[in-house]
Amino acid sequence: MRAAGMVKFSRGRLVTLSMLAIGTMMLTACTGGSTQAVVTVTTNVAGTSPGSTSKGSTSPGSSSTGATSGSSSTSAPRSSGGSSSSTSKSSTSNPSPSSVPANDDGGVKAGGTEPDGFKITKLKPGEKAPQFVVFSFDGTGWDEKWQYWFGIMQKVPLHFTGFLSGTYMLSADTKDKYTGPGHAVGKASIPWGAPSDIPTEIGNLNKSLSLGNEVGSHFNGHFCDDNPPGGNDWDASDWNSELDQFFSLVKNVDPNNSISTKLNVTAAEIHGERTPCLTGHKVDLYPALEAHGMTYDSSFTRTGLSWPVKSSDGKIWEMGMSEFPLHGSGHPQITMDYNFYAQQEPNTVAGGPVPSLAQSKADSAQVLATYQDMLKAAATDGVNEPIIIGNHFNDWNNNAYSDAVGNFALAECGKPGINCVPFRDLVDWMNAQDPAVLKALQNHQSNLGGCPYLKWPKCDGLIQY
């Protein structure tokens, strides 16, 4: 099981929040810099007991060039070493990783079928793009939530990406097999689980893969600005070290822990990642992704709804979450559960009491309505921009956000034309399209969800779908 944590976040200026002990969960907030208070986090939870308890904005239609150097916090022990500078550091160091595939935008081609049954087709002239809804989770280490989502999958055609922290492949007894860049041996910003957690986690990962879901990387020690050096301080060699270790921990989980349980994940199946706290700089991160055969990143957010584009060198798909108006408020919000939590219940996040059940249900309904607004906006826009939703295995706000995304999946997945899929499927579909057809989708002006375009992010006069 995981210990309680604390949160700290900023958006343009630093706002420090107090310790928040919430059941057995570990919370680490992520940051951003602009004019609106938007927060994202990554949480990591393991075991069978339940826990309780921004990103840089860009001009409309553009994508950010790197994570901002805001702040994040954790209750993990501090360790020394490394620079704490948040400026981007270019590096020529690019060590060759072992046992990883070449970056060639590989995957299922047009006419083929994904592990979850999604067929990759090529748009015909005049044909409309399918509506993708991409579900993803950071902190896929909580058995109870694995069972919850397996249950949802039995009811509707839902598949998702789970971004795995490599430290889940170790325990408190074997943690000395990991050394974060600039940190002491066996240190991490997320708690270490018990040895008994590892076979359970492997079993859930194997089942998830067998059902057609995708595994991605959430790197390892979850080092953010509160415990430097972290993503905002790391250069390409540091990111390479994290990924070298991630792939090694995944490959060697059984001998590392002297267990017989095998993990059915290969390096070739891991195509993308999301950085801890959405930190990092593209100039440092992307060369490491390319060296490790990875083809997409979901760390850098996008304004409104738009079709993803590739990095400047054409090798990494930029699949960040959107900033979209929170239903009924006109407030642009990153479409991640903890962002909604921090916006709706800031007093609780700051250490206050958990909201009443009635308030939590109202919060859940507002988030569900926001997801539905996104779908309506994409359909109204005529180009069916992909809906990218980030989540965690959590029970924050009396399960408000788990319920919201679960109810959204139950209501929408399986409807004609709606494809609830992992990132992998969307990437392969985009790769299969004629470049001119895809370019036309990408060139469509970013959809701001009814917000007056020239007034973003001050969404007065918000159109209600």
pLDDT in tens, 341-376: 999 999 999 999 999 999 999 999 999 999 999 999
- For residue 67, give both structure tokens: 């994570």
Mean pLDDT of 3-25: 27
Q: Are strands 5-6 and 331-334 parallel, antiparallel or unpaired?
A: unpaired
Q: What is the mean pLDDT of the chain?
A: 80
Mean pLDDT of 446-451: 89
Which H helix or E strand runs over 333?
strand 331-334
SS3 6: strand
The whole-number pLDDT of residue 133 equals 98
Percent above pLDDT 90 for the chain: 67
Cβ neighbour number for residue 297 with a 10 Å cutoff: 24
Mean pLDDT of 191-217: 97
pLDDT digits (tens, 9 = 90+) for 82-132: 333 333 443 333 333 333 333 345 689 998 999 999 999 999 988 999 999
Q: Are strands 272-273 and 5-6 parallel, antiparallel or unpaired?
A: unpaired
The whole-number pLDDT of residue 107 equals 85
Residue 229: cis peptide before it, omega within 30 degrees of 0: yes
DSSP secondary structure letters along 98-120: SS----S--SPPTT-B-TTS-B-
* Residue 451 binned pLDDT confidence (cut-offs 50, 70, 90): confident
Dihedral angle of Cα 378, 381, 385, 387, to the nearest 10 degrees: -20
- Distance, in Å, from the CA atom of 40 to the CA atom of 390, rounded to the nearest integer, reads 9
Residue from 450, 332, 349, 465 nearest 400 by CA: 349
- For residue 242, give both structure tokens: 């994290």
Q: Please state the pTM of the whole predicted model.
A: 0.80
- Distance, in Å, from the CA atom of 203 to the CA atom of 190, rounded to the nearest integer, reads 21
* Residue 24, phi-psi category: left (phi > 0), alpha (psi -120 to 50), beta (remainder): alpha
Percent above pLDDT 70 for the chain: 76
Mean pLDDT of 197-214: 98
204 or 60: whose pLDDT is higher? 204
Phi, psi of 93 (to 5 degrees): -70, 125
What is the sign of the dihedral through the CA atoms of 51, 169, 180 and 66? negative
Least confident of 92-106, 171-185, 236-250, 388-402: 92-106
* Residue 284 binned pLDDT confidence (cut-offs 50, 70, 90): very high
Do 451 and 326 contact (CB within 8 A), yes or no?
no
The whole-number pLDDT of residue 27 equals 36
